[in-house]
Each structure stands twice: as C-alpha cells, then as structure tokens.
Amino acid sequence: MSGFAEVESTWAARLGDLRNVVRQHLVRAQLREHLDGVHSVLDVGCGQGTQAVELAADGREVVGVDPSTELLALAGQAAQARDCSLATLQGTIDDLGRLLRARTFDLVCAHGLLMYLPDAAAAVRQLADRVSPRGLLSLTVRNGDALAYRPGIRGDWQAAIQAFDADTYTNELGAQARAHRLEDVLGWCRELGLTVEAWYGVRVFTDGVDPETPPDESTLALCLKAEREAGRRDPYRRLASPIHVVARAPR
C-alpha cells in the first residue's frame, strides 16, 4: 500500500485549496471546544504544523512529531511567522518511546495519520499511552460509512458502487489508504477506557469540489459557518469525509 511519503509534495502544493482550508478550520474550531485545562500538546504526524502552530500561538507547550524534514521545516517557518515556540521531532509513531521516553501530555493529536497506518487500533493504543490522566485524545479518520458519498455527488456511479463495501480507497493525492467506521473508533476508545466527549464530521458540503479549487474569499466565511453546523448535526456529519473524535482519558 503506497503511503503519504510518496505524495507529500502534492499535499504541500495543495495546502491553500478550499478543501484543505475547510478541513483545517473545522478541526481547529471543533478542538477549541475542549481545550480548558490543556497546557501541553503532542501532535503526531503534525506535517506542516497547521494545528500545532495554532495551539502553540495560544501559549501552549507543543511538540510536533513527523517523519518528513521538509514538512517539519514548514512547521518551523509557520511558528516563526506567528512568533510562537514549537518543538519539532523527526520520527514516526513507532519512535515516540525513543523521542519522548515516558512523557505524557494534556492533549495528544493524530489528524490525518491513521488512514496511512497498517493497524489503526494499535496506533490509537500507542497514542493513548501518551495522554496524561484526564487528558484528551483527538483523532481523525477517513469515514468508512461515507466512502461512496464523494464519487456519488460527482456522478461517478461506478466508483460509488464499488465504495459501498470497501475499507480501502485511493485518496485525492493518489495514495492508497484505509477508511474506518465511527463504531470502530468508538470501540477502540471504549477498550482503552477513554470516554468520548464528542465526535464531529469534517467537510460535508465541500467534499466533492475539485481538489485544486481555491477558496472564494467573498463566500468563504459563510461556507465555513455552514460546514461548522453540518459537522455537529445529524444526519449531515455522518456524510463527512473525515470524522473527528475527541476522547478523555480516565484518572
């Protein structure tokens, strides 16, 4: 299965497109509802650091981990531009023990990571080990219950039919990845003793647009408002491309 590293340059080139702007805005807005008492943050698979920098700019101690030196460099530049401190470490989720020893954090994030890993449930266990007592775990996964939605609204009927019972897909970057259902993620959390505080949909109305579509600045604020509402309401959030789950660790 081809992973993210093979399409990293395409990813970086599309950071300013509408779909990415909507996704990053929604994850940030959703996460902000749960940040009381969060002082330290670990962002695993932080990439170019969009969420990590926002959290650091609010005065939190943030560590970003990613295997890509190029994306970590972008994260460092973004932090410098915002005049905030962001610690970055090169490595994967399997390197956390070496990089961090036994350190834990008030908030651990893995956004856009689990779909590229061979065993997402095992990865969630690794991430949960880094959460302090009563801390938070924030995860996004590709919504396996809605894989047919994007090709369907685009009128790609054959792809929609094939997606109904699939758990893998080729994403817009051209990489093969895995999808997971909401019940999968809720089950992983239950098994680890985590209490799910909320789950959200990320990108409903704009998921079908061409991946290189730029934001329309004249309507972007209204677009984001509509997407925020869709991401927190049934039945709309169940059609979102990613699902965002926020869970709390026990004492």
* Domains (range + CATH), the chain: 4-143+178-248 (3.40.50.150)
Q: What is the pTM of this model?
A: 0.94
In the chain, % of residues over pLDDT 90:
90
User: Which pLDDT value is given to residue 191?
Assistant: 97
User: What whole-number distance in Å separates Cα of residue 121 and Cα of residue 119?
Assistant: 6
User: Which pLDDT value is given to residue 113?
Assistant: 96
Phi, psi torsion values for 36, nearest 5 degrees: -60, 130
User: Which pLDDT value is given to residue 6?
Assistant: 66
User: What whole-number distance in Å separates Cα of residue 89 and Cα of residue 174?
Assistant: 27
Residue 88, C-beta contacts closer than 8 angstroms, at least 6 positions apart: 46, 49, 63, 64, 65, 66, 72, 75, 76
Per-residue pLDDT of the chain (251 residues; tens, 9 = 90+): 346 766 666 657 777 899 999 999 999 999 999 999 999 999 999 999 999 999 999 999 999 999 999 999 999 999 999 999 999 999 999 999 999 999 999 999 999 999 999 999 999 999 999 999 999 999 999 999 999 999 999 999 999 999 999 999 988 888 899 999 999 999 999 999 999 999 999 999 999 999 889 999 999 999 999 999 999 999 999 999 999 999 999 98
User: Which pLDDT value is given to residue 16?
Assistant: 85
Q: Which amino acid is at 179?
A: A
Q: 229, 203 in Cβ contact below 8 A?
A: no
User: Which pLDDT value is given to residue 1?
Assistant: 38
